[in-house]
Amino acid sequence: MPAKGRLAEFSVKKYGKRKDDRAQVLEKTLLEISKSGPHPKLIKTDAHPSYKKYVQSLFPMSEHQVFNRSQKEKLQSRLHEKNQKTKFDPLFQVNHLCARLRADIRRLTRRSWCTTKRPDYLQRHLDLYSNERLGIPV
């Protein structure tokens, strides 16, 4: 994903322009999901413009609901954590794993210059981390 924000100009000068692979990764991920089993009846996404094209082509029978920030803020009282504590969250384990990875692997920490510039280096770091967590000697 290309650099953006206050430090984007500095980042481009220091590291060069980053390649944007988001569209290819999104298409590959949704293609794998579409092949994995029955298509979901409902797909909810944020308002990113590229999602609509892929959802319509790969999941033609699924309903696609789009939520943007203002809609989320309107529903905030229903989305508040207190109200969600009693409900089962199917993404809890995924979110928890991502939070653990961000906490344990410094290059995944947000708002930091300790970011990975090359996906293969991130994969090597994740391999080392998972082997250590599983007790596999490196």
pLDDT computed for residue 87 by the predictor: 67
| Tokens found for residue 68 | 């943007």
Query: Count of CB atoms within 10 A of residue 52's CB?
Result: 13
Q: Is the pLDDT of residue 57 over 60?
A: yes
pTM of the predicted model, to two decimals? 0.53
Most confident by average pLDDT, 17-26, 63-72, 78-87: 17-26
Phi, psi angles (nearest 5°) of residue 43: -125, 125
